[in-house]
Structure 1
Amino acid sequence: MHICLILAPGFPILTYVLLREVISRANTLAGRALFSIELRTVTGTPVSSLDGIEISPDRTDWEDPPGWDLVILCAGSSPLGRLPMGLRGFLMRAQTAGGTLAGFDGGVTILAALNLLDGFQAVLPSEASEEETEILSRIAPSDQLFCFDRGRLTAATGLAAGDALLAWVARVHDPEIARQVSDKLSLGHFRSDGDARHLPRAEDPVLARMQSIMVTHLGDPRPMDQIASDLELSPKQLRLRCRKGLGQTPTQVYLKLRLERAEQLVRDTVLSVEDVAQATGFASPSSFTRSFKSRFGAPPRQLRQMI
């Protein structure tokens, strides 16, 4: 099966790495090339991630797709700056041929701007300008981590995008392969329906929602006051509720989730320590290394050497 991944300038590097890892692991576990992947960029030229990592496309044109099964648009904030003339036609031809169109984070905004999500349900991007909000108003918002709706697959960035791709793999090929890839990448309990993955068990639905918000914002941690506001609680009320339900403060829960993701990236990717720190929302490599060592007993470079 054929996958086309289209990157826009400022794309989130964690999402890109996870998508490539999911496909690579699925092929390895199957013992054959179940999925091929071709890389394109919105500009037709090399583009840089939000972190400054440059990626070059495999092709620079918008010729007819050779039977794409999945076309993914991966973008960060402000994704509408340079949309090429041929992109919409490319996506429409992929759709007509039976392919699924996917948008992750700012990729959702691109699909919406091209009128390819009108009347669909979708996961909205974490950030949007006033202009983008108007464009996204034509979409029925989903509160899930990812959403499948009639040939459209949408998700937020990072972990949710990895789950979304795994759900697609489960649908088009084999749920068992998807589960094994999830286990190999330490993504937690795989869900094919878009609901939040298993986190520290929270019987309280408010705390479950808190954890979902945290999971979708590992690379760009939301202020705790904002999370409390999203849950219609005061920060004090959230702390008390979290201590009662999970035995930890919200800050402790959030840090644990970020460090567990960082540990997976150190083990299973070739990202530098600096890139892992940025991908999991740490202000500097030094603060990341201190927190990582406190949690896992060794700094990230040493842990990677031990693997």
Structure 2
Amino acid sequence: MSDDSFVQKGAAATLAVPYVGAPQDFYFLLLPKATMLPVAAAIEPLRIANQVTNTKLYRWYIMTETGAPVRCSNGMVVTPDTPLAPLPPDAMGFVCAGVEPQDAASETTLNWLRREHRFGRKIGGICTGAFALAQAGLIQDHAFTLHWENQPGFVERYAHLKPSPNIYEVSGALMTCGGGSAATDMMLTLIEERHGKQLAIIVADMCLHVRSTSSTAPQKSNYAVAIGSRNQRLLSALQLMQESIEEPLSIGALCRELDISRRQLERLFSRYLDQSPMHVYSDMRLAHAFALMNETSLSVTEIALASGFNSATHFSRQFKRKFGASPHFFRKSWA
């Protein structure tokens, strides 16, 4: 990328930023099947910050392992600026992944991540980049996150690491985000830290982005929004179910935890969800199994147990009822 292309003309009034120094460099390492949305959502705030200040505050580069084009999860092909190479001392590198992240990073990539970390470079993860960071042994005691869809498979693979439900996490030199527009929020935080709140606000407005008030904002809509109700007992029941996937509670245990009768619980679910409590609970566990089926090499029996089914046969019947194919056929068709 030409050095002149980092600052472009725009119609918005220029904001004077009292800054003298070298631009900050960002390198985005795209793994095969990386999700394009969060990559663009991370780069655009940098471009806009340069545009509205008419100053080269940031530079950004796309990397792939060999320098060859990479096909993203949406099928589009991205031509990188450079193959893997040592990062400049003050640069920050983000590993960007997407679907099937457990197989995306090669040993060459992992060794590059380890080397950059060893030399004190700031390394982060976008969307499911945390898989590569965990494989490289870089997460350790850091707070981190990745896309909520991929968290069940990640936890099964790295039981000692617990991702947060937040949109992004900053922990020392490690920055991670769940993908999508969370990448914009993460970059706005960096812009504000380096050049002030006013610039971050203008950049967010230029992105037509309503900035999250905090990194601790959850990635998913809460149950109250999802079901259109703030009934506290119903919300508590759903939360208990979600927290007890591997060892599901009986309906009697749920009622005791909630201090509610079985009839009251069934009426709540019927009124707001038009389903029985056990049907909702079963669907939660099957959704968990679906994620494990896609992103782990666990056997069908192991997935059944991890999803709260005591019998692989019963699990297979329920899985086929929900998704239209047996677990074995489903996995074979996606191989």
Give SS of 2:170's match.
strand
Query: Offset of 1:18 from its aligned partner?
Result: 1.3
Match of 1:58 in 2: 81
Inter-CA distance 231–29: structure 2 relative to 1 (3 Å threshold): farther
Q: Does the CA-based 8 Å contact 1:228-1:238 persist in structure 2?
A: no
Give the Cα–Cα distance (whole angstroms) in 2 for the partners of residues 137 and 231 of structure 1.
16
Contact preservation (8 Å) 1:43, 1:84: no
In 2, distance between residues paired with 1:123 and 1:129? Answer: 8
Q: Classify 1:129/1:158 alpha carbon distance in 2 versus 1 (closer, same or farther; 3 Å).
A: closer
Q: SS where residue 19 of structure 1 aligns?
A: helix
Q: Match for residue 185 of structure 2?
A: 163
Counterpart selection for 2:176 from 120, 140, 154: 154
> Superposed, which structure 2 residues align to 1:39-78 within 5 Å?
39-42=62-65, 44-60=67-83, 62-78=84-100
What secondary structure is seen at the aligned counterpart in 2 of 1:39?
strand
User: Aligned match of 2:203 in 161, 168, 181?
Assistant: 181
Which of 218, 224, 232 is matched with 1:207 structurally?
Answer: 224
The gaps in structure 1 that reach 5 residues or longer are 200-204, 212-225, 241-307
Counting only pairs closer than 5 Å after superposition, residues 37-116 of structure 1 correspond to structure 2 as 37-42=60-65, 44-60=67-83, 62-96=84-118, 98-116=120-138
Distance 1:94 1:192, change over 3 A: farther
State the AA in 1 paired with 2:37.
L
CA drift at 1:229: 6.7
Distance 1:67 1:123, change over 3 A: same
SS in 2 for 1:101: strand
1:20 aligns with 2:37: no
Q: Tell me which residue corresponds to 2:255.
A: none
- 3-state DSSP of counterpart to 1:141: coil
Name the CA distance, whole Å, in 1 between partners of 2:47 and 2:82.
20
Q: Which runs of 5+ in 2 are unaligned?
A: 1-23, 229-237, 245-264, 275-335
- Whole-Å separation in 2 of the counterparts to 1:183 and 1:38: 24
Q: 1:236 to 1:95 in 2, by over 3 A?
A: farther
Q: What is the aligned partner in structure 1 of residue 55 from structure 2?
A: 32
Match of 1:141 among 157, 163, 166: 163
Q: Which residue of 2 aligns with 1:8?
A: 31
Distance change (3 Å), C-alpha of 1:18 and 1:130? closer
Instruction: Tell me the distance in 2 between the aligned counterparts of 1:189 and 1:79.
Output: 28
The structural deviation recorded for 1:124 is 3.4
Per the alignment, do residues 31 and 43 of structure 1 end up closer, same or farther by CA in structure 2, a change over 3 Å counting? same
Percent identity of paired positions between Structure 1 and Structure 2: 21
For the aligned residue pairs, the C-alpha RMSD in angstroms reads 3.5
- Tell me the TM-score normalised to structure 1 length: 0.60
Q: TM-score, normalised by structure 2?
A: 0.56
* Secondary structure at the counterpart of residue 126 of structure 2: strand
Check the 8 A contact 1:206/1:231 in 2, yes or no.
Answer: no
